[in-house]
Amino acid sequence: MPDLVTHAAVGWLAGRALARRRPGRWSVAAFVAGSYAPDLLSRVPTLALVMLQGRVGPLPPALLNAFEPLHTPLGLALAAWGLAFLFREDQRPAVLRGLLGGMALHLFLDLLQDHQGVGLPLLYPLSPRLFELGWIGSESSVYAAPFLAVLVAVLARRDRRRPATRA
């Protein structure tokens, strides 16, 4: 999977482009959060449980796999919907759009990769079929991360220097 820097940078670039095109309809921060949320919601808890297992002994496989549905479209849509309720009512539509957009972008980037046959369960729970395009290696994004980080830093600095225009 692309690393979090790559996901966040691509999410920021996409969110920024959408927010500039449709001001007020998109939250760039929510788009960035959505772009790395699938890994934070599913992979981080699983890794923590695996580390805990090394200290306390075997854990049930169902517990180790309990967070995997949060890396599927249905699980992410439900997570985005729930997270949007943490914001004021007038902010929820933009936050929800940003989260969903970032999450969709994350899954798209993951879908491009070769996961050595593992793939993504895009239709879960309707189908266990796994999907992947295999166009790039799963670690190829590591080479792009420094360039994307510099691009985001330059554009963010430029945006801060420009006076905000209101429509």
What are the pLDDT tens digits along the chain (167 aa)?
Answer: 457 888 999 999 999 999 888 877 778 899 999 999 999 999 899 999 999 988 888 999 889 889 988 999 999 999 999 999 999 999 999 999 999 999 999 999 888 887 666 777 777 888 888 788 878 876 777 888 889 989 999 998 988 887 655 44
Question: What pLDDT, on the 0 to 100 scale, is given for residue 65?
Answer: 85
How does DSSP assign the chain, residue by residue? ---HHHHHHHHHHHHHHHHHHSTTT--HHHHHHHHHHHIIIIIHHHHHHHHHHHHH----HHHHTTTGGGGSHHHHHHHHHHHHTTS-TTTHHHHHHHHHHHHHHHHHHHHTEE-TT--B-TTTTT----B----EETTTHHHHHHHHHHHHHHHHHHHHHSPP---
**CA distances for 159 relative to 9, 31, 164, 167, angstroms:** 15, 17, 8, 17
pTM: 0.83
- Please provide residue 95's backbone torsions phi and psi, each rounded to the nearest 5 degrees: -65, -45
Question: What pLDDT, on the 0 to 100 scale, is given for residue 155?
Answer: 92
Question: Measured between alpha carbons, how far is 17 from 160 in angstroms, rounded to an integer?
Answer: 15
Question: What pLDDT, on the 0 to 100 scale, is given for residue 165?
Answer: 54
Q: Which amino acid is at 13?
A: L
Question: What pLDDT, on the 0 to 100 scale, is given for residue 21?
Answer: 86
